[in-house]
Structure 1
Amino acid sequence: MPTLSFFAVFGFVGGSLFNPMQPDVAQAAVVAPVLVKAPVEPQQFTAHGTYAAFDVTRDGYGVTLPKPKVEEKPAEATDDQADPAAKSTAVTPSNTLAATAATPNPGSAQEIAQQMVAARGWGSEQFNCLVSLWNKESGWRVNAYNPSGAYGIPQALPGSKMATAGADWQTNPATQITWGLNYISGVYGTPCGAWGHSQSYNWY
């Protein structure tokens, strides 16, 4: 009798343990499927047919440059082709000659100049050139004035330059002549040299 009771209890307990209607057991008995995600293959596209390559170009243009202009340098004139007027202005022995001066009046500016010319060792021809030169420049007037500022018998420019020969340079012919002969000697050598230059260029 005790044995039967054991089996009865075992059967009751076992039935309760394996009751498929019990919620806990039913859930445990269900095996959830495992989803395996298959790898996705990359998409591929194959074009069929023949395709021609296109060459894209732009319209061209041309530039026409003018030819360089060559200026010809005129040939220099030879002595035979030189301007005759230019030849005539050259200082030559022929145009350094001057007309013979008249005998100066005693005490005049020309007489003072004649004595100074002789004192320098110059001959009468140099005195003749000096007379012609200063006849042209000032007429031998001690107070001759030019709008340019030149003054006196030798037409010093400016006249105040003659102060190196004396303080009375404005009124004394001897002072002016002394300065004038010093200037001529230093620049042209002789009165005839100064006269020739004046004939060629109209100044000395």
Structure 2
Amino acid sequence: MSRISVRGFAVASATAVTTVGAVVGVASGSTPQQTSNDFEATAAEDATLLADIPAGQQARVQTATLTQQADAQADAAQAGARKSAEEAARKSAAEAATAKKEAAVKKAEEAKKKADELAKQREKEAKEKELAASRSATRDASSFTVQSSYSVGDVQAMARQIVPADQFQCFSNIVSHESGWNYRATNAGSGAYGLVQALPGSKMASAGADWQTNPATQIKWGLNYMDGRYGSPCGAWSFWQANSWY
């Protein structure tokens, strides 16, 4: 390498170092070792020396400067890319957390809904069992002692023991309207007979041969009739209220 090229590189290096030193000194608050006049003189001298450097070597110096600038820009771009990636990661994590929370809430709501449905189903089954137990606990018509005659109180007491408790009031409403609890009541016009005014009265023979004289037999037949046609005495009473017959 020639003296001029060595000197050119030295000048370029010295210029760079001088410039950096001046900037660092100002940033740190310290007094630069060179005065402004010295710096300007040095820069002028450097420019004169750079002019002495051949064109090819000047190009290499300029290329090195551009390379440094490109490296700085690349570093800045990488820093921006890292920042963007970090922001994207934070956003993705927040969205994932929100989705997870919503999924957990939905799952909890579904679990509660299933639990409520199960509770309702169990409650329904318990009521059905209770009703079945109530009906099974009622006495059969044949379990009552046969008497020569029965008062209204006797007949109602029988009905309370035969008809399920939750259906008794509906049954009583129908009997009160149909016969006034008179087990020998006869409709002169139609021939309907008994507590529930079976038409004809002989229908009640399916519940017992003593249908004409035994209120328990009539009650049993009437209950079976209401259950079979209307689902229950209360179903029969609802129909009766709308039509005045059943």
The TM tier, using the shorter chain, reads: 0.3 to 0.5
In the superposition, the TM-score normalised over structure 2's length comes to: 0.37
Structure with larger Rg: 1
Q: Which has the higher contact order (CA 8 A, sep 6+)?
A: 1
Greater share of helix residues, 1 or 2?
2
